Amino acid sequence: MPVKIEPTVSRIALVTGGARGIGAAISERLARDGHRLVITDIDQGALERQTDSLRNAGVTILPVQADHADPDAPEAIAKTVEEQWGPIEILVNNAGITRDGLLVRMSLEDFQKVLSINLTGAFLMSKRCARGMMKAHWGRIINISSVVAQIGNAGQANYVAAKAGLIGLTKSLALELAPRQVTVNAIAPGFIETGMTAVLPEEVKTNYQSRIPLGRFGAPEDVAAIVAFLCSPEAAYITGQTIRVDGGMVLA
Ligand code: NAI
């Protein structure tokens, strides 16, 4: 008897930091797959531009300006969504920043700031959204980590600690939430062309490119495709995993 795959259903999906870069590509992809979309971002201008662009394409979208460094943000966001649409069913913890520097020069403030958005922000959003998912016996949480979480990176102690923490968080939440059919997975992108990487010096970019077997930088859409798959009925039996999207940069 073949395993019964549930039909694709339109869900309420929230993408943090969804106004630009990888988050924007994820929003566009989830909208294309028929989900109702909530995007959060700290950048009001970018949020408005992305909302207008998706609305013009016929997407049902709810933008919420938020700072994921603020521990009160998840409650305010979830309440807004619940009042208008209902509980969040798909959560993509994508918002992230870098504050690079070598250990001896890295301030406590820069260390804590990166952790507060990239890791604590994801923990708090997951905690708030898990309630509704557990009740519904269905949910998807996807954390955007990074390949550097698995290999380390000089000059990014704060960022790597946060991204490695996300992988541990993913595994623990996967175990906790599995009995309620909520899956929790992480994606570890390599070098993706966005505003975050555009600011890197040319020689750093050239060095990265030479380490990518597939010979090109990734596009935000390469990451969005994996998010879409993890939200699809076909991925119902995958949880606690970290999927690398890096053109073969890290093979281990
Ligand atoms: P980006 O800088 O292009 O976009 C990040 C978005 O998050 C922006 O719209 C920004 O306004 C928003 N954001 C930043 N701080 C926020 C806050 N406190 N509250 C709410 N929104 C906030 O960056 P990119 O490249 O799209 O990165 C997305 C995620 O992917 C991040 O978590 C990043 O660490 C991760 N990643 C990126 C890689 C790359 O090569 N670009 C590689 C591996 C991981």
41 C-alpha to ligand 1 centroid (Å): 10
Model pLDDT for residues 203-223, shown as the tens digit of each residue = 999 988 999 999 999 999 999
Q: Indicate whether residue 17 lines ligand 1 (CB < 6 A).
A: yes
Cα gap 46→108, rounded to integer Å: 29
Which ligand 1 atom minimizes the distance to the CA of 148?
Answer: 43
Give me the sheet containing 61-65, strands edge to edge: 61-65, 36-41, 12-15, 90-93, 139-144, 182-189, 242-245
H helices of 120-238, in order, are 121-136, 148-151, 157-177, 195-198, 202-210, 220-231
Find out whether 37 and 13 touch, Cβ atoms under 8 Å. yes
96 C-alpha to ligand 1 centroid (Å): 4
Model pLDDT for residues 122-169, shown as the tens digit of each residue = 999 999 999 999 999 999 999 999 999 999 999 999 999 999 999 999
φ and ψ of 36, to 5 deg? -80, 135
224 C-alpha to ligand 1 centroid (Å): 13
pLDDT number for residue 87: 98
Cα gap 9→136, rounded to integer Å: 14
- The arithmetic mean of pLDDT across residues 103-109, rounded, is 98
Mean pLDDT value across the chain: 96
User: How many Cβ atoms are within 10 Å of 240's Cβ, its own excluded?
Assistant: 17
pLDDT number for residue 11: 97
Residue of 159, 167, 190, 243 marked active site? 159
- Residue 38 forms beta bridges with which residues? 14, 62
Ligand 1, from 51, 117, 196, 250: best to mutate by most atoms within 8 Å of Cβ?
196
Annotation says 159 is catalytic? yes
Report in angstroms the alpha-carbon separations of 146 from 53, 127, 210, 232: 28, 21, 18, 22
- The arithmetic mean of pLDDT across residues 17-24, rounded, is 98
Q: Indicate whether residue 196 lines ligand 1 (CB < 6 A).
A: yes
- Hey, what are 62's tokens? 């709810």
Q: Indicate whether residue 23 lines ligand 1 (CB < 6 A).
A: yes
